[in-house]
């Protein structure tokens, strides 16, 4: 199952969005996902994908943008050395999200 497929399943289950609307180029705003909804989605993605979303300003305007961003986070995690300090930082992280859908 691809990252996009997993996110689509989350959106269908948690947001009750028709799966036919969930294409890679579907705009989050058009799907009814505002900045608060995106923050909630990112928290759920952290749990589902076991990643920590950095507290940084990013523009995610489509479902494809979200999937690509998560793929990059997972790739970064896969390439990072597993040091005890890094593992402690990850465990202690609250996963603050400062993301906004593009206008």
- Residue 80 gets which letter from DSSP? S
* Cβ atoms 45, 7 nearer than 8 A: yes
> Out of 34, 47, 55, 89, which one is annotated catalytic?
34
Do the beta carbons of residue 67 and residue 7 sit within 8 Å? yes
Place of tokens 């948690």: 14
Closest CA to 53 of 103, 2, 102, 94: 94
* Backbone torsion region of residue 82, taken as left when φ is above 0, otherwise alpha when ψ lies between -120 and 50, otherwise beta: beta
- Residue 55 annotated as catalytic: no
So which residues are the catalytic ones? 34
């Amino acid at each position: 199952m691809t990252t996009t497929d997993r996110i689509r399943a989350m959106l269908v289950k948690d947001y009750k969005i028709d799966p036919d609307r969930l294409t890679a180029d579907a705009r989050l705003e058009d799907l009814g996902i505002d900045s608060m909804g995106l923050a909630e989605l990112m928290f759920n993605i952290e749990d589902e994908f076991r990643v920590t979303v950095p507290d940084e300003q990013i523009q995610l305007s489509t479902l494809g943008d979200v999937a690509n961003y998560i793929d990059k986070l997972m790739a970064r995690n896969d390439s990072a050395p597993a040091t005890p300090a890094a593992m402690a930082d990850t465990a202690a992280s609250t996963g603050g999200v400062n993301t906004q859908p593009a206008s």
